[in-house]
Structures are given as C-alpha cells and as structure tokens.
C-alpha cells in the first residue's frame, strides 16, 4: 500500500498567504448590518425585529456571482445547475426562509431579554449603592429608594415569567439547526454530492423533497457514505 503524497514545504522566509477579503457571509434574513459600525453594535438586539414575515425572495446564492463563476462552462452542465436552482427555489428554499427567519427572530428575543436583565441588574446595584449613602446622610428618603428597588424586582420577575413560558433560546437553536441543515442540503444538491450523485431524474428530485421534509420536521435523514 503506497503512502499518500506529502505536500511541499515552503522555503524559510516565505510570507504567509494573504487573507481573502472577497468571501462574503452566508445569506440570512433580518436587517442588513452597517459595515461602518463595530461588530458589537451590529449584534445588539432590536426592540422590533424586521421583517415581520420571511422574505420570499431571499436567495442563498448571488446569481450575478454564480453567472460570473460559471462563465465559459459546458452548456449541459450549466443547464443542469440552472434547473437545479429553479427546483430548489420551489422545493427547499421556502422551508429554509421560514426556519432562518424564525431563528433570527428568536435570537433577537433572547439577546433582548439578556440585555434587559443586565440593565436591571446594573440599575439594582446603583439603587442599592444610593440606599447605603442615603442611610447615612438622608434617612428620610429611604422609602423612595426602597420603592424603586421593588419596581426593579417586579420588572425582573415579569420578564422571567414571560420568557420562561416561551423560552427563546431552545427555539432559536432548533430553528437555526434546521435552517443550516437545509442550507447544507441545498448545496449538496447543486454540487451533486452524495446522496444525489447516484440517482437521476425524478428519483433525484423525490430524494431531495423527502430529505428536506424530514429536516423541516426535525428528523435527521440518513447521512450518505462518502
């Protein structure tokens, strides 16, 4: 049994390859980020998530970039890829849009709750500090500080109650997992990777439809052997 070839080692002093800057982020729904803002500001939750409904035209592939990448390709292969994308847009992409939108919505809810808890904890600490100072300098206003502390505690209990009934974290993870599995299936089909490389015609389409339906219902389809 022959040993696998050993990749060549660059000579000493060779600069590392430049980091690629033309690689975009995966397409997803929600308000597009503003490139001139820091990442932590872009990740802040919104009081009202937009859009309210899944974007029915949200693509997974930029068609202009795809056409540029396929320029000069064999006509039959180009037609097959185009037909696959048209079929996927109808059969799988609608499911991905729904799951992706739900994941982004519950992610925003989760971050909003966590940020609110952080603000309430900070406010409660400040009120407690002022109470300690007022106990020495102005004991007469202690009831006012106690009332504010009670209000903060009531708001925290209210948030814990409504978030516990419909916790956003497991919903976010569930929808995101299914959306990414659908995304993976999308590119498997286009690139004709297993299990789509061994079937043709309507059987190939039916296989995609079945696997997409199973993923959307939360079932894990059988993984193909490479």
174 against 38, higher pLDDT: 174
Gap between the Cα atoms of 105 and 93, Å rounded: 18
CB 204 within 8 A of CB 174: no
Peptide bond into 58 cis (omega under 30): no
Residues 6+ apart with CB under 8 A from 43: 111
* pLDDT tens per residue across span 19-47: 545 445 555 655 555 667 777 677 788 87
Sort residue 30 into left (φ over 0), alpha (ψ -120 to 50) or beta. left
DSSP H or E run through 206 = helix 201-216
Provide the pLDDT for residue 48: 81
User: How far apart are alpha carbons 159 and 126 in whole angstroms?
Assistant: 20
What's the whole-model pTM score? 0.74
Confidence at 1, pLDDT banded by 50, 70, 90: very low
At residue 161, the pLDDT reads: 84
Q: Do residues 103 and 172 touch, judged by C-beta distance below 8 A?
A: yes
Q: Give the pLDDT confidence score for residue 17 in this predicted structure.
A: 55
What's the pLDDT tens digit per position in 175-218?
Answer: 999 999 999 999 999 988 999 988 888 999 999 999 999 999 99
114 pLDDT more than 70: yes
DSSP at 53: S
Q: pLDDT of 45-92, one tens digit each?
A: 887 887 777 877 777 887 778 777 778 778 888 888 888 888 998 899
């Amino acid at each position: 049994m022959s040993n696998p070839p050993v990749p060549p080692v660059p000579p000493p002093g060779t600069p590392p390859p430049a980091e690629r800057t033309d690689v975009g982020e995966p397409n997803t729904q929600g308000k597009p980020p503003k490139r001139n803002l820091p990442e932590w500001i872009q990740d802040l939750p919104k009081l009202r998530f937009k859009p309210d409904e899944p974007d029915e035209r949200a693509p997974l592939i930029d068609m202009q970039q795809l056409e540029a990448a396929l320029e000069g390709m064999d006509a039959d292969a180009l037609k097959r890829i185009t037909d696959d994308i048209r079929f996927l847009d109808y059969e799988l992409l609608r499911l991905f849009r729904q799951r992706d939108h739900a994941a982004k919505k519950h992610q925003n809810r989760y971050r909003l709750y966590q940020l609110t808890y952080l603000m309430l904890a900070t406010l409660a600490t400040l009120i407690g500090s002022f109470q300690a100072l007022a106990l020495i300098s102005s004991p007469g206003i202690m009831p006012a500080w106690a009332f504010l502390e009670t209000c903060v505690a009531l708001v925290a209990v209210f948030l814990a109650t409504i978030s516990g009934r419909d916790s956003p974290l497991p919903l976010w993870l569930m929808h995101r997992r299914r959306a990414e599995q659908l995304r993976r299936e999308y590119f498997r089909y286009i690139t004709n990777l297993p299990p789509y490389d061994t079937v043709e015609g309507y059987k190939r389409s039916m296989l995609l439809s079945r696997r997409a339906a199973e993923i959307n219902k939360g079932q894990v389809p059988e993984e193909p052997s490479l």
